[in-house]
Chains A and B, each alone.
Chain A
């Protein structure tokens, strides 16, 4: 991808909120290890994870943008967009464990978190690397800006 800082942040918020939101709606009820919890509680938990990812993501984008400055092409290889699932996932998990994330009922089981986080990430990454260009034909030429 060829993002600008503004484009990164806009794309991040848009894709995670819309695509990630729909996916979270779909997958939450079937996540493993949440048997005891009511559906409202599950959604509260999964959407908190999503919102945390969006909010922290804005910080991450600043770092990625800085790293991108060392690249002659000023591009962001497709692979980088995928492997950053590791650092971002780890940070969200850490904050959840430390209980720093506001509004979260404690005790998110790791398998549920991993499935939720990884699947959302991959779907968003795939869409950002192709299908996004179909409805938004200007998007790839504007560094990922939508507005």
Chain B
């Protein structure tokens, strides 16, 4: 079997039929699999038990969490919500990815002070709370002078997880959770949707359970993080899974090899993950007095400011494109958010290209480390591409590179690939089913087409609605979807739309303030 995507927590195995071939009770029937709209009768004929609930959220990661948080604050009871998930808690998958990509709990995230997945108001922001907790003005000073005289303030990963856990308890989130893997969502004749859940083995007397709801929210995160083909080919051909790794999989062995003996390592990529990996390598080098040599290959080597005109120029240099967050900051609320909201088709796709692309924040400590490395000759960034990789005795890898100075060969103890390639949405079973049977379509950058309200276009089943948030919706009227704040912006749009359907209460100034006051006192809702 080809191992194409990186394993994430909760990404359970695809359905495998019972090896004995015996039909299981309450399973999908060919009739159901083939029809786009399901009748209550057809579901009953299949023997699948039905659970009625008004709102279903599929995924159970941070996207589901912030949406449920919003709805709870808008007065929706836990009994009206079911979150179908395989995760133990909403930040499990996220914490896994941050940890392996070198952001343990004590390190800082990328998003800003007011991106608080535990607090829909973003006030008090992380910097304010950190200042109170540490009885120190440092973080306040930083948000005051950022980004001019200091780097952007970003919260510690641990701070984000602890506060999310508190909110998770406050809103009684666990009461909404049902464990299992979602197989598909289909429209129901007569309105609303059926969401088919495969519960954990032996936990239910039937193979499937159907959730019949008026509203469905899809927040399934990454359809898959893929290994680049050259990396995969090396690993499969040489049965060596430890030396050529992707930064999104556990790769402590690379650092440990460098602790054991001096060596050279090749880092590929120009994004924040590459920055983190470099920091780890250099921190280890400094702390342990190692002699690690770092080669760093960029496919696009940025040498300075770049952009179409003086109104749109992004800083860059030494290989990197610099940007505080994964998009220019105003996509989360200001000018660029307003601008993209009005764009259609190719115009939208073109603007995404201008401010997208691989980039990393400019941070003073990273700059200092790299400057020192370049000066002392142990950090060498260059433009190039990997042409071939071969094992080279005693656990080393020989890499052939194409560079601007012609071909080069290097021998390294490991290659850390920091390029993330997201799989196409059709590789996610639920999303693919929506494209095939649910009426969903693709947006100008080929992901799931959602409206300004985050309703998935083409899937309406009156009076029901289907919404989606997270990376699957990138390319829509709002760009910053795959971030805490973006997920909250989506949650707000969804809640506003649901308010118009009279499903939840309007969050006007009075209700918002009184709910905030409850939040501030930690009062359970």
Contacts and interface: CB of A to CB of B under 8 A. Distances in A.
B366 interface: no
Interface residues of A, number: 30
A51 B337 CA distance: 31
A137 B121 contact: yes
Interface stretch (B184-192, B272-280, B308-316): B308-316
Contact of A75 (B313, B330, B507): B330
A82 B121 contact: no
A100 interface: no
Contact of B121 (A70, A72, A74, A133): A133
B313 A130 contact: no
A79 B34 CA distance: 59
Interface string B122-155: 1111001000000000000001111111000000
B77 interface: no
Given A4-B338, A134-B513, A138-B492, A79 B324 contact: no
A131 B123 contact: yes
Interface string B299-312: 00000000100111
Interface centre among A1, A72, A76 (most CB of B within 10 A): A72
B144 A142 contact: no
A140 B336 CA distance: 13
A140 B337 CA distance: 11
Contact of A2 (B120, B311, B332, B492): B332
Interface string A97-128: 00000000000000000000000000000000
B176 interface: no
Of B122, B329, B334, B337, most buried by chain A (CB within 10 Å of CB) is B334
A69 B311 contact: yes
A4 B489 CA distance: 17
A119 B238 CA distance: 70
B121 A78 contact: no
Contact of A77 (B125, B148, B307, B337): B148
Contact of B329 (A74, A135, A143): A74
B513 A143 contact: no
A14 interface: no
Nearest to B519: A134
Nearest to A68: B335
B100 to A, nearest CB: 29
Nearest to A2: B334
Contacts of B323: 72-73
Contacts of B507: 137
Contact of A143 (B114, B333, B492): B333
A78 B313 contact: no
A72 B143 CA distance: 19
Nearest to B307: A72
What's the dominant secondary structure at chain B's contact region?
loop
A140 B329 CA distance: 12
B144 A7 contact: no
Contacts of B516: 134
A28 B16 CA distance: 77
A79 B492 contact: no
B9 interface: no
Given A73-B328, A78-B143, A143 B337 contact: yes
A85 to B, nearest CB: 14
B509 interface: yes
A79 B310 CA distance: 23
Contacts of B338: 4, 142-143
A72 B315 contact: yes
B512 interface: yes
B144 A82 contact: yes
Interface of B: 114, 120-125, 128, 143-149, 307, 310-315, 323-324, 328-330, 332-338, 489, 492, 507, 509-510, 512-513, 516
Interface of A: 1-4, 7, 68-70, 72-79, 82, 130-131, 133-138, 140-144
Given A134-B513, A142-B338, 16 more contacts: A3-B334, A73-B324, A73-B330, A74-B329, A75-B329, A76-B334, A79-B146, A79-B148, A79-B149, A130-B125, A133-B123, A134-B121, A134-B512, A142-B333, A143-B338, A144-B334
